[in-house]
Structure 1
């Protein structure tokens, strides 16, 4: 079976929620040691400390020949680095070098560049590890993900007879960093390129985090997707905050100079706000906070077209997701009125699957998906 184990338990590793979640994420996926994340959490006082501490953890692991730990510590280090820092691309390159050169160098996995518009989408292909092929799962992430993050997920499903394709769409990983493709809400376009390249006609599409929105959008316009799995959903990003907050945001966006000034003001005094604003501009390739926000808000109810989704759908949600409130789960389920079937599961704190895409019990999410797939592939 797979060399990965998926530990159960969400740990208090840092007082800052976004840092705490990131430290838990790499541990929950099976890539780093808890003792190292605890040490890092104690040493990190804020985002300004993040890069140096995670690089220290990476170098320590590298020296001890723990290459999986090292690679993903470099990936973690890159996460909060501002796009204006040249170390961002250097850390990405170091992660990629270790991941493919050391971590999976002996695995039977193909790296592929899929033609897309005037550029390329990076992808990896892994064959089933059994002779009983059950089907093909195409996996992608969300806002700022790398496809390599979901390697342990792919390994899990390939052990049970599934062919796995991981890919990065516009705005993600190498598609952004190496091939200059900004985020698009029209996710059916990169999915079409992937399905065309591999000549696939009957697939399961699995989207994680913001990928939960993107995969449902793709399913609305791509009939070759027969089953769709959203691991966390958003439905409409403007409906996430309370209505008064959303209404105020709409009002401010009518005044571009004021909107950009207020965004810039926040970045001067709060490291987390600075990272959030600059990262959004980086991924959308927009020059101002306003234009970046407009691109992000294209991920809305109208553009999602839930009414066009006719596949079998599985939705997994954490009851205490700190990014997406639980109300969005029920909005999404209700909107899928023409789906062939909808299975929706809310994980609570009792199972430790209550966080964003089940960080804290990622193994439970994988087992739940496998059980659902076995039913719909039987």
Structure 2
């Protein structure tokens, strides 16, 4: 989608478009986002925080005196804006603004009352999430949804969870290691062997009333487009998996920016020292708003001390070495025609994943004409959700 704001900063534009998209299910209002964004200076993380924190605080205060339905709507939007306000601050994990905004975001979402908070047992602790129950009697299919590199269980409401119940699906969302509640509350960093995360979530889902054990599907968003297929390769109880968008090798998002082949990048990233690599990353941060943000956030959620260590850890998120070929359940691979992170000059990451699948598979491409060509189709979330659930209906 053509940039209409922040024309020199694709990362700020993408996050603005992401906010616009959440309006499809009540997570934002277009005019509110335009008004806030107009006060933001491109590349200035403090101005981004201040604009969306002020907007969120205003809605939060208004909700205190509003009727119940109006309060629900105000709190859902405030939840989105609080979460967005701390989005670019993770270069300093000790910044007190992160916890202050994130905690208020979760508070607002829970007070809105759109889903039941749940705690899923996981390796001596719990994963935070939400359960959406479909109306009616009898067993229903369940769609498990998780986000990726930087999204939250609360945000999953606007990216597929909100529409599930009316379509006859129970929906279970959660934050896994590296994702907001897990990293902020328990310091659980990302892990590439995501099947060890999804298996206890499936166990939990099977313990819920009214779940059809033969119709459990999993959907991963953004980096979840590699995590969910990875889990599906080793979790036989899944009846279908959806990758929004599909990712075969997450590391391609950074290796494409570097002057060496992947094997050389792996070697140099894991070396005790590499001044040349460090200098290239430093220059890249200055030239690329996306790389600057990705390195800051990546150190935070992967538990890396340096940008180069982040790159080394991030390169482990791949379906190479025959992992994609192990998937046996039907797989929907979504593709954005102009993906900021996982596009490609010759072959996109979704198509690489699709080509390696032996399971029944569908490639679903979203285009600029549909306003859906951005990463994870954030500009057309209602369109994307409809097509994905229709595929699930046919598949399950």
Question: Does the pair score TM above 0.5?
Answer: yes
TM-score relative to the length of structure 2: 0.85
1:187-219 Cα distance to aligned partner (Å, 9 max, x none): 101111111123264310011111010000000
* Runs of 4+ residues deviating >6 angstroms: 268-271
1:123-144 Cα distance to aligned partner (Å, 9 max, x none): 2112113446540100001012
Equivalence for 2:16: 23
The aligned runs of 1:70-89 (5 Å cut-off) are 70-82=78-90, 83-89=93-99
| Counterpart among 116, 121, 125 of residue 119 in structure 1 | 125
Equivalence for 2:210: none
| Counterpart among 37, 40, 43 of residue 41 in structure 1 | 37
For residues 101 and 168 of structure 2, the distance between their equivalents in structure 1, rounded to whole angstroms, comes to: 34
For residues 146 and 303 of structure 1, the distance between their equivalents in structure 2, rounded to whole angstroms, comes to: 29
1:178 aligns with 2:185: yes
For residues 144 and 288 of structure 2, the distance between their equivalents in structure 1, rounded to whole angstroms, comes to: 38
Give me the CA root mean square deviation.
2.4
| Counterpart among 336, 344, 356 of residue 357 in structure 2 | 336
Q: Residue 155 of structure 1 aligns to a residue in which SS?
A: coil
Number of matched residues? 363
1:245 aligns with 2:262: no
Is the CA contact 1:133–1:162 (under 8 Å) kept in the aligned structure 2? no
CA 207–281 in structure 1, closer or farther in 2 if over 3 Å, else same: same
CA 288–35 in structure 1, closer or farther in 2 if over 3 Å, else same: same
TM-score relative to the length of structure 1: 0.88
For residues 157 and 144 of structure 2, the distance between their equivalents in structure 1, rounded to whole angstroms, comes to: 12
Equivalence for 1:3: none
For residues 160 and 204 of structure 1, the distance between their equivalents in structure 2, rounded to whole angstroms, comes to: 14
For residues 188 and 278 of structure 2, the distance between their equivalents in structure 1, rounded to whole angstroms, comes to: 24
Is the CA contact 2:248–2:320 (under 8 Å) kept in the aligned structure 1? no
Is the CA contact 1:260–1:288 (under 8 Å) kept in the aligned structure 2? no
1:145 aligns with 2:143: no
1:320-377 Cα distance to aligned partner (Å, 9 max, x none): 111111522221111002x0x1011111111111111111111111111121111122
Is the CA contact 2:225–2:247 (under 8 Å) kept in the aligned structure 1? yes
| Counterpart among 221, 227, 234 of residue 208 in structure 1 | 221
Equivalence for 1:4: none
Structure 1 stretches lacking a partner, 5+ long: 1-8
For residues 141 and 96 of structure 1, the distance between their equivalents in structure 2, rounded to whole angstroms, comes to: 16
Is the CA contact 1:317–1:345 (under 8 Å) kept in the aligned structure 2? yes
Structure 2 stretches lacking a partner, 5+ long: 64-73, 208-212
For residues 367 and 252 of structure 2, the distance between their equivalents in structure 1, rounded to whole angstroms, comes to: 23
Q: Residue 229 of structure 1 aligns to a residue in which SS?
A: strand
Equivalence for 2:313: 295
For residues 350 and 394 of structure 2, the distance between their equivalents in structure 1, rounded to whole angstroms, comes to: 23
For residues 158 and 143 of structure 1, the distance between their equivalents in structure 2, rounded to whole angstroms, comes to: 26
| Counterpart among 4, 13, 35 of residue 12 in structure 1 | 4
For residues 14 and 267 of structure 1, the distance between their equivalents in structure 2, rounded to whole angstroms, comes to: 18
1:61 aligns with 2:75: no
For residues 64 and 243 of structure 1, the distance between their equivalents in structure 2, rounded to whole angstroms, comes to: 45
CA 329–198 in structure 1, closer or farther in 2 if over 3 Å, else same: closer
1:367 aligns with 2:386: yes
